[in-house]
Structure 1
Amino acid sequence: VYFHDWYRDESASKGLFLQKATHDIDVINYLLGEEPVNVCAMKSKQIYKGDMPAGLRCSECDKWETCMDSTYNITHVRNDTPRNDYCGFAVDTGNEDSGSMIVKYESGMHVMYSQNFFARKGAARRGARLYGYTGTVEFDFATNEIKIFDHMSDKVTTVRLDDQGSRHGGGDIVLMRNFIHLMQGRTTVSVAPLKDGIRSALVCLQAKAFSESDQFYPVTL
């Protein structure tokens, strides 16, 4: 979707830190309960680039049989659902296809975050791993699993959640219910305050700015 649909216009999408990472930073900020204070980042475009004509669509291209990103092959070979048919390898295809950031928090703790937009199928992962002294907890939205690893024993606990039919893991339902309750005066507390969303977006905008500034120490011999 990020290279075949309107998202591919980077002047509109502002890149994939903002479009995608902001949701994950939301979750991370919530879990940590701390304010992010600094961020550095890097991004690259290694796959979704090329010299095909600007504005080219799969329906107009003679490579529709051999290109694995054509709408035909996405549907009939990869068994996925295409969102649109703009060429992902055209000269006007925007957006990085991978990116990473390191975020520092108030306590000095740091988070390493990476996103990749060409790993898929069985390689797909989306979640986090949080490390502590007595244990590690990880979750994966793709598998609906939470795992707790006990550092003081060999115990591993797996929790499986069944949210089939819900949207965004049930998050949409919670947000809508809370909004209605706010409007009805049944609560005065938002489960997702505007400030939290702005904070996550700012982290991602600053990550984008840093990744385009080339402010790194060179490695030279």
Structure 2
Amino acid sequence: MEQVRLGIIGARGRGIIAKYWHNPEGRSVVVGAVDVDPKKLEEFKEDVNSDAFVTTDYRELIAREDIDAIAVMSPDYCHEEHAIAALKAGKHVFCEKPLAITVDGCDNILRAWKQSGKHLMVGFNMRYMNMYRTMKEIVDSGVIGEIKAVWVRHFVGLGGYYYYHDWHANSKNTTGLLLQKGSHDLDVIHWITGRYATKVSAFGSLDFYGGDKPNDLTCPTCSERETCTEASPGRLIQCAFREEVNVEDNNMVIMELEGGIKASYLQCHFTPDYQRNYVFIGTEGRMENSEPENKVYVKTRRSNNDRELSDRVYHIKEAEGSHGGADPNICKDFIDMILDGKQPVATPIAGRMSVAVGCAATESIRAGGKVVQISPAPEFMQQ
């Protein structure tokens, strides 16, 4: 095979990264897409490939013999069904994060992957961002010594706009936003430390969104649209204060990782700003990022070696492409994995373990903060 032919499940949303795969003169080409909304399929054809096969039935897409790989960009609650069906059809699979919305769902995907002999990649594009690749390199260099503590603050500005006006706001579709939104951050904690979480305790609640508005109320039809802080009158979206909203918007998680590393993750969806702040504390120093400044700071402590002689500031370079250049790079890696056998930056088991932590933390919240053990990797993955 010299060129990978791809089909996209979910033509819009994260499906917009299909443009990075469509290179008819190169190593990959997008030949088909599926979406339940015909309008989105028309937009897909205009933006990506006017000759692409399009359908509203994903089974028609994965049955095509002219497709080698499937990118699963559908809503989270569909990932398990779509990824398994594609793997069983003999397709390589790129699955947007989270891998699934339950641990069992992840394990079902992993089982299908192991049986298929095909490639599976999870869409952890934060591993491809210059900021976090730099932080990984700093930790691996040993400059702050052995990691002992991790503190993460996630300010989800516009959280209502992204998560409380649509399907994300109901737990049946996401389990919770510690899983849906937090899966990136939980994975970065695992990745940079090189350790998986083993147990968690968490507290959270619905402190701002949700309420008593009708579930079918939309912003353009609402009489309060001129005064509502969350109104988006130009979009036909559900009210963020409707009755069915039941996923926490204010969360605090404490976890213990392998090797005794202590970590915390704080997530709030009604902050005015949007940024992630990571702090890693080791035996020889501390590392902290600043997304607004696009910098990483390293402060060293006495260690009786040359590392203690200076503090350091890393100026992160800009990169082209969406998500700080991460999307074109992760798309390239998926093709390189299929054609060249390149190992992915994020393994499928990493996708499963971030979901396991998100599920355990959500369980802890809804049980009053009890300590919950993280479900270990299934035995068939350890063989």
Fold-level match, TM-score > 0.5?
Answer: yes
Q: Which residue of 2 aligns with 1:117?
A: 269
In the alignment, residue 2 of structure 1 is paired with which amino acid?
Y
In the alignment, residue 270 of structure 2 is paired with which amino acid?
F
Partner SS, residue 137 of structure 1: strand
Structure 1 or 2: more helix by fraction: 2
Aligned identity (percent) is: 27
| TM-align CA RMSD | 2.3
Preserved CA contact (<8 Å) 1:2 1:95: no
Residues 105-138 of structure 1 show CA distances to partners (whole Å, capped at 9, x for unaligned) of: 12111101110000023xx331310012332101
In the alignment, residue 178 of structure 1 is paired with which amino acid?
D
Alignment partners' CA distance in 1, 2:236 and 2:187? 28
Partner SS, residue 168 of structure 1: coil
Distance 1:155 1:50, change over 3 A: farther
Partner SS, residue 253 of structure 2: strand
Partner SS, residue 88 of structure 1: coil
Q: Which residue of 2 aligns with 1:75?
A: none
In the alignment, residue 149 of structure 1 is paired with which amino acid?
K
Alignment partners' CA distance in 2, 1:5 and 1:165? 30
Preserved CA contact (<8 Å) 2:203 2:369: no
Preserved CA contact (<8 Å) 2:219 2:235: no
Q: Give runs of aligned pairs for residues 61-210 of structure 1, distance below 5 A.
A: 61-72=222-233, 85-121=237-273, 124-152=274-302, 156-163=311-318, 165-184=320-339, 186-210=340-364
Alignment partners' CA distance in 1, 2:213 and 2:299? 48
Distance 1:43 1:119, change over 3 A: same
Alignment partners' CA distance in 2, 1:38 and 1:164? 36
Please list every run of 5 or more consecutive structure 1 residues that lacks an aligned counterpart in the other structure: 73-81
Tell me the number of residue pairs that the alignment of Structure 1 and Structure 2 aligns: 205
Give the Å deviation of 1:170: 2.8
Alignment partners' CA distance in 1, 2:286 and 2:211? 41
Alignment partners' CA distance in 2, 1:65 and 1:169? 34
In the alignment, residue 182 of structure 2 is paired with which amino acid?
A
Q: Which residue of 1 aligns with 2:9?
A: none
Give the Å deviation of 1:142: 4.8
Alignment partners' CA distance in 2, 1:129 and 1:84? 39
Alignment partners' CA distance in 2, 1:99 and 1:46? 10
Distance 1:65 1:165, change over 3 A: farther
Quick check: 138-147 or 90-99, which moved more?
138-147
Partner of residue 192 from structure 2, selected from 13, 31, 56: 31
Preserved CA contact (<8 Å) 1:4 1:83: no
Give the Å deviation of 1:216: 4.6
Please list every run of 5 or more consecutive structure 2 residues that lacks an aligned counterpart in the other structure: 1-161, 303-307, 372-383
Preserved CA contact (<8 Å) 1:13 1:19: yes
Alignment partners' CA distance in 2, 1:21 and 1:108? 21
Alignment partners' CA distance in 2, 1:94 and 1:207? 16
Q: Which residue of 2 aligns with 1:48?
A: 209
Q: Which residue of 1 aligns with 2:157?
A: none
Which structure carries more relative contact order (alpha carbon 8 Å, separation 6+)? 1
Preserved CA contact (<8 Å) 2:288 2:297: yes
Preserved CA contact (<8 Å) 2:206 2:249: yes
Does residue 1:7 correspond to 2:168, yes or no?
A: yes
Give the Å deviation of 1:63: 0.6
Preserved CA contact (<8 Å) 2:197 2:256: yes
Preserved CA contact (<8 Å) 2:277 2:291: yes
TM-score (norm 1): 0.83
Alignment partners' CA distance in 1, 2:245 and 2:235? 15
Partner SS, residue 289 of structure 2: strand
